[in-house]
Amino acid sequence: MKKILITVAAVAMCICALPLSAGAKSINLTYSNFFPPTHIQSKLAQQWGEEVGKRTEGRVTITYFPGGTLTKAKQCYDGVVEGLSDIGMSALAYSRGRFPVMAAVDLPLGYKSGVAATELANAVYNKFQPKELRDVKVLFFHAHGPGLLFTAKKPVRTLEDIKGMKLRGTGNSAQLLKALGAAPVAMSMPDTYQAIRKGVVDGGVYPMETNKGWKMGEVVDYCTLDYPVGYTTTFFAVMNKDKWNAISKQDQNIIMEISKEFAAKHGQAWDDSDKEGRKFLTEKGGKYIELSEAEGQRWKDKAAPMMQNYIEKVSKKKIDGKAVLDFTVGTLNKIQ
């Protein structure tokens, strides 16, 4: 009897020593991203998935699909909602008008860094918890550094120079181009390189990093440093709600901790990439045009009506646009 009791006790001790996750049901999730696999934002997304697998001890694993191989940039969000992918990363601006609260972040507020833009995007979401994103589980947002003007062949030094030019822009950046007198052409970044090379558009607005990350520095000749109207583009990382609800609370908490860490990494990567993008464009013979203070103010004045237009537009959707914009501007001023 004594031997039996010792054996039972030993077995019990072994069972207690097992990790809490032993026998827990594992789940594999697909992650769709339009960034090419070589892009730092794609590499970070893949690293996020690897970290999830590591910290959940394999209970949640991620199969990663970069380069739009699972869903394209414009279809990514709906792809998550409909279950074509379990997780997705893309730009909110590719679904213009669908995300009215978050659209405030993309206004030309004079951004100086991706770190600040990323912190702001997450702050706006956390403050207002917008209904527009309730059909998914939001993991985090990140946003690039100042979006600037890049052109092929023709330099832009004044508002008069930009008038009538066909330039790539999406969401609020398209509205900015229109306000400045250009003719915006909406297209995703993967399509922009060939469009500029073939002369379909005269250039576009995007962050400095794009010159290397998307090789745009090979097809543009000039960069107008229009920092007074520097805008950003907000990128989302979201999960299908049913798949999120199938994950244990313990692992949900782990995933959100990782997501907070990686939001900051994505933001910093944008700034690091901006430095590389500027170097790349310089090496390709690109020239930089600085606006005088007076000219910069002219551009800012042209963009100013966009703020009031934003308030009026979202008010039709029963959103207090002034409150959203005031919070967005006030928070940005504090963090940069």
What's the pLDDT at 96?
A: 79
**Sequence-ordered list of residues with C-beta below 8 angstroms from that of 26, at least 6 positions apart, any chain:** 58, 59, 60, 61
Backbone angles phi, psi at 62, to 5 degrees: -125, 130
**Comparing 26-142+234-274 with 147-232+286-335, is the CATH topology the same?**
yes
What is d(CA 101, CA 106) in angstroms, rounded to the nearest whole number? 10
What's the pLDDT at 24?
A: 56
Token pair 């990790």 is found at: 19
What's the pLDDT at 213?
A: 87
Q: Classify domain 147-232+286-335 by CATH architecture.
A: 3-Layer(aba) Sandwich (3.40)
- Class of the CATH-defined domain 26-142+234-274: alpha beta
What is d(CA 132, CA 236) in angstroms, rounded to the nearest whole number? 13
Q: Give which of 212, 95, 211, 229 is closest to 162, Cα–Cα.
A: 229
Domain boundaries, given as residue ranges, for the chain: 26-142+234-274, 147-232+286-335
Q: At what angle do helices 305-315 and 172-180 cross, to 10 degrees?
A: 140
What's the pLDDT at 17?
A: 39
Per run of 10 residues, the mean pLDDT along the chain (length 336 residues) is 40 40 75 94 98 98 98 96 98 90 96 97 98 98 97 98 96 92 92 96 96 95 97 96 98 98 98 97 98 97 96 96 98 94
